[in-house]
Structure formats: C-alpha cells, structure tokens
Amino acid sequence: MMTEIQNKFSSLLNYFKKINFKNIDFQKVKNILLILYTVLFISTVYHFVYAKRIIPGVRIAGVKVGGITFSQARKALEDKEQKATKELKLKFETKEFLIRAQEVTLTYDWDATVSRAFEVGRTGNVIVDTKDKIAGLIKSLYVPSSNDYDEESLGVKFSIIKGEINKDVVLSGLVLSSDGELTVTASQNGRKVIDEGLYSLVVGAFDRLDFSDRDIPTKVVTPQITEKDVTQFISIAKEVISEDLVVAYGEKSWVFDKQQLLDLISFEKTGSKVKINLNKAKFGAYVEKISAEVNELPRGQVTAVADGSRVLDFKITRDGKDLDVSKFINDFKNSMFGTRQSVQLSVNPVTGESDKSKYGIYALIGEGVSHFAHSIPNRVYNLSLASERTNGVLVAPGAIYSLNDSIGEITAETGYHSAYIIKGNRTVLGEGGGVCQVSTTLFRAVLNAGLPVVMRYPHAYRVGYYEQDMPVGFDASIFQPSWDFKFKNDTSAYILVQTSVDPVNYVMSFRIYGTPDGRTVEISQPAITNQSPPPAPLYQDDPSLPVGVTRQVEFPAWGASVVFTRTVKRGEEILYTDTFSSSYQPWRAVYLVGTKK
C-alpha cells in the first residue's frame, strides 16, 4: 500500500514538471502534494486500523471503549454493570431516598449501546464524521447507554420524594381569637423539588451507569402575601365581620357569621399592588349548597304514546328556576365589603316550548318495575309521595340526576310518615320508610335504559319487597344526606323521568323517555356466593306487652355476596361494561316477649 501511494505521488509531480508553466512554483506544489499525501496516508491507516473498532475517545458509562472491538466493548460494559450496586441514593438535608434498579425494572441493552458507539464517526456526513474523529483524538466523546425502565414505577418514586420534601408556602392571613380580636398570621416560605432537575439527575445516572449519591435539586417558594400586605387591611376586615350577613329567598334564609365571613376574605396581589377580595373558590361551596335548595328542574309529562313506546304528545307541567349566580356573587360581595344589608336571591325561570322536538322526548328508552305487596299503609304513603316528587323531572344532556335532590328532604315536616327503615343493626320505625322502593325502581329503569350509574348503594340485608319480581341484587338504598342514587344523562337530548304507582296492585314503575340512539343493554344473571344462614332468633323481654304476647319485629334473611354485570352496546361497539356488587349480611329474626302482668 505504501509503495502504491509513493508511485502515485511521483507520477503526479512529474506530470506538473512536464507542463513547464513559467509561473508555477514547483516547490509549493510539492509541499501541497506532500500534505495531501500525509493526510491521505494517515486517513488510510486510520480507517485500516479502526475498520472493526470503535473510534478513539469514545466512552460509555465511564468505560473507555475507543479503539476496541464490539465484543470487547460489550464485555467491558457487562462487567461494569455486574459490579455496580444499581442503587441510587438521593439526599436532601437529613432525608434519604433509594431508587433500586429492580424496583423500576431498569435494564440495559449493551448490544444496542455498542452499536450506537460504532456509529460515531460513521454517519456518512463527511463534516460531522471528520469533526468527531479529530475530537476523539484530543478529548472524550460520551455515548449514553441504551436502557429501559418502568416510567410509572419511577413516577411513583418521584411522587414519594416530592411528598416528603415539598412544603406548601404559607400566606399571611387573619385569624379570629376567642376574645373576638383579629390577628395577622405569619407567612412562611415553601419548598419545591425541581421536577426537571430530579428527572434529569436520575435518568442521567441510569444513562451513565453511575449510582453515586446525589443531592435532590430544590428551590425556595416565597409567599406572595406577607404580614405587611395583610396589616394594611385590618380595619376593613374588622368592618366585614362586625355583623352577620343574611341571605334570603322567600321563607328560606342562610346566615353567615363572623368566622364564616372571615374565611371568605382573600388577599390578591398583582405586581406590587395588594387588594382585599371575596374568595370565590371558597364561596363557591356556599353557592352550590344554596343553589341545590333553590333550583328547581322543569317538569314534563308524556300524555300519549303509540305502540307502547313512541311518544305522541308531551307537555311541560311546571317551569323550573335557576339561581342567578353572577348576581348573587355580586350582591354578596357588595354587602360584605359595603353597606351591610340582607342579600335577596334572584332566580331565572327555566322555560321552554312544550313540544317533544325541543327536548327530544320521542320514545321510551328504559323502564323499571317493582312490587311492594304486604307494605304497611305508611310505607305505601311514603313511596307514593317520593314517587310523585320525582315524577316529570327533565334531565339535561350531560347532567347528573340526583334522587335526593328530586325528592327533597325526607322529614315529617316535608310530609313523610313513620315506617320501617334499616338503622344500625335493627329495622326500626323512621321518617320516610319505603323511599328505597323509589330508588330501587329507578335503578332498574336506568339499568334498562343503558345510562351510566354514578352512585348506588345496596341494602345492608336482603329485603323481601325487592325480590318479589326480580332476582337478588337489583336494589338501591338511599339514606340522606350521604347515600344517594345518581345517574348521568350521556345522550344528546333531554331525558324525562316519569313515575306511576298502583296502590291497589302494589306496583311502582319508572319510565325514562328521550331520544333513542341505538344502544342495547345486556344484563347478566346475578352470581350468588358466600351464602350464610340467618343467626338464631333473638327473644327480648318487652315490659310494654302483656304476658303471653309475642311479637315478631325482625324477619330472617340469608346473607350473600351478589354480582351482576351490564354491557351497553351500539351495534357492535361496546359503550361500556359495568359491574354491580352487593354484600348482604345475614339477618336474624327478633321477637318481643311480653312481661307486663
């Protein structure tokens, strides 16, 4: 090879001499050709020597792999991984956190890594490759390792670290002492882990196979509102809480006392300017509560159908009303920070055309039925009353229907009688007994309509009423204020909830009307497991009953775990599949034995 290059050089030089140009400096030409020859020679030798080796200067995970073969580089990296603890300790002050490779499923692909190292200087781009080859002769060229890890597991680790280190900033504010004086509270700096820094630190350690200890990057978060900012508003705050603020609507009223008003004060800073204001986020909870008591959905009624399901005639039976929220907030703020006066709520009527095209009330989309034979008169009265109060509710597209909101408060004052309810571990007389017949029947209608169930609670034990016409598990219990039955209208039009009660034949039905969208419903048979017999009967002395009289107040019921599924489709598309589970405890019979002589 050397002789061939020399021969080409001599031939080229002789060629220039034969031309015999007067102005050509053959010594310079000779020097240039010598340089070209030297570069060509070095390049030839370089490519020959490193044809099957990584170019000089390349490092992977701290290992010098430049100048060695593929298999040598892979073995060197495998040896380093074998010796590594692969346990990264992250520190902040006195806290320490460990990230172990096996916990985040960290793995290395050394074949892919070494292949990437071989690409350095061999990309095909002459300029880039030449630069890398020259740079590798005078400095290190770092190639990251090819690795993989479970991002979700690593994210959990990051969340734990941030949960331990992050500290919320504390804004200065006002507190009301026991003697009624206002005190300015101190502000405090917060602390936050720098997310990008933590990620780069950990992933960089993985890339370099370097598990030496590291400090967690954090930053100080300074409070926007300080003691100086709040102090200037003490006199205004004293005026705000000087007397209660009353909100009124008809016969209803809501009173905001000193502490509630103080909680609604917020301080806002824009640039260097601070102002006192109504905390709309906290006030929103009051707005929601008051709206629930004031708002009324419009009511409608299907008056004629054909073929059992197609709606022929529909009408609005009662307009609804909505709290004017923006006016309420504005009036409350003016009263709170201005001349104190009672805030009178305003409502907007919710009206609409009575034709079915306005609301999309075209056909029956679901029906639920239940029987309540052997119910006492008060129970029949209560379930009829609750049914009447939810009858005709129109639910807007995307809205969530609440049975508790529809029937209102269940008390003697709102018209309910005493009947048997489940309370604790006993069946006792209570206000509104029988209303669960309503929630159970609505649950069945919603199931058949293919609408999403948002909230449903089964009963504590199996109730005979709900198994008169359906298998076990198709019941829903409500207990105000926490237990409710809710569903969502996920159709494109309004839906109408319409009820009827037949007290002669002891039948209740819920019909849901709307716009059919082609969905079909498949409900499985309930799977019944873990059945357990009722405990032995309990006999209790009762001094109010004459001797010789025995009265049964609890009836036995088997315990069981019950599960059924529902699949809602549109054509072959599955919209959703849900599972409904119930766990019924075994229930013993209880007898009262008279002891009165």
Residues 330 and 466 in one domain: no
Given 350, 372, 398, the domain boundary residue is 350
Residues 283 and 429 in one domain: no
Mean pLDDT of all residues belonging to the chain: 87
Average pLDDT over residues 172-192: 93
Answer yes or no: is pLDDT of 170 > 90: yes
Q: Which of 532, 547, 561, 560 is nearest to 594 (CA)?
A: 547
Q: Where are the beta strands (DSSP E) in 363-484?
A: 363-371, 393-395, 400-402, 418-423, 426-431, 453-455
- Residue 501 belongs to what domain range? 360-596
Q: How far apart are CA 528 and CA 559, in angstroms?
A: 10
| Structural domain includes residue 591 | yes
Give the rounded percent of residues in the chain with a pLDDT score beyond 70: 88
Q: How far apart are CA 461 and CA 466, in angstroms?
A: 11
Average pLDDT over residues 27-43: 61
Residues 341 and 456 in one domain: no
| Structural domain includes residue 482 | yes
Q: What is the pLDDT of residues 422-442, one digit of tens each?
A: 555 555 555 557 889 999 999
Q: Which of 207, 170, 189, 178 is nearest to 59 (CA)?
A: 207
When pLDDT is cut at 50, 70 and 90, the band that residue 31 belongs to is low
With contact defined as beta carbons under 8 Å apart, do 101 and 86 qualify? yes
Between the ranges 36-40, 116-120, 550-554, 580-584, where is the mean pLDDT highest?
Answer: 580-584
When pLDDT is cut at 50, 70 and 90, the band that residue 420 belongs to is very low
Q: How far apart are CA 439 and CA 386, in angstroms?
A: 10
Residues 504 and 590 in one domain: yes
| Top-confidence residue, 306 or 412 | 306
Answer yes or no: is pLDDT of 540 > 50: yes
Given 330, 350, 370, the domain boundary residue is 350
Residues 278 and 374 in one domain: no
Given 315, 350, 385, the domain boundary residue is 350
In which element (H, E) is residue 221 found? strand 218-221
φ, ψ (nearest 5 deg) of residue 450: 75, 25
Answer yes or no: is pLDDT of 147 > 50: yes
Residues 277 and 383 in one domain: no
Instruction: Report the CATH number that the domain containing residue 268 is assigned in CATH.
Output: 3.10.20.800
Helix (H, G, I), strand (E, B) or coil at 61: coil
Residues 590 and 522 in one domain: yes
Residues 322 and 382 in one domain: no
Residues 406 and 472 in one domain: yes
Domain tally for the chain? 3
Q: Which of 12, 215, 191 is nearest to 96 (CA)?
A: 215
pLDDT at 554: 74
| Structural domain includes residue 165 | no
pLDDT at 35: 65
For Cα atoms 324, 276, 188, give the angle at the middle one, nearest 5 degrees. Answer: 125
DSSP 460: S
Residue 454 burial (10 A CB sphere; 0-12, 13-18, 19+): middle
Average pLDDT over residues 562-582: 95
pLDDT at 298: 78
With contact defined as beta carbons under 8 Å apart, do 441 and 386 qualify? no
Listing from the earlier edge strand, what are the strands of the sheet with 87-92? 95-100, 87-92, 214-215
Residues 322 and 457 in one domain: no
| Top-confidence residue, 174 or 376 | 174
| Structural domain includes residue 121 | no
pLDDT at 42: 54
Residues 369 and 341 in one domain: no
Q: What is the pLDDT of residues 452-477, one digit of tens each?
A: 999 999 988 888 888 888 999 999 99
| Structural domain includes residue 592 | yes
For Cα atoms 287, 288, 294, give the angle at the middle one, nearest 5 degrees. Answer: 85
Residues 299 and 380 in one domain: no
Q: What is the pLDDT of residues 258-287, one digit of tens each?
A: 999 999 999 999 988 999 999 999 999 999
| Structural domain includes residue 139 | no
| Structural domain includes residue 549 | yes
| Structural domain includes residue 128 | no
570 beta partners: 519, 573
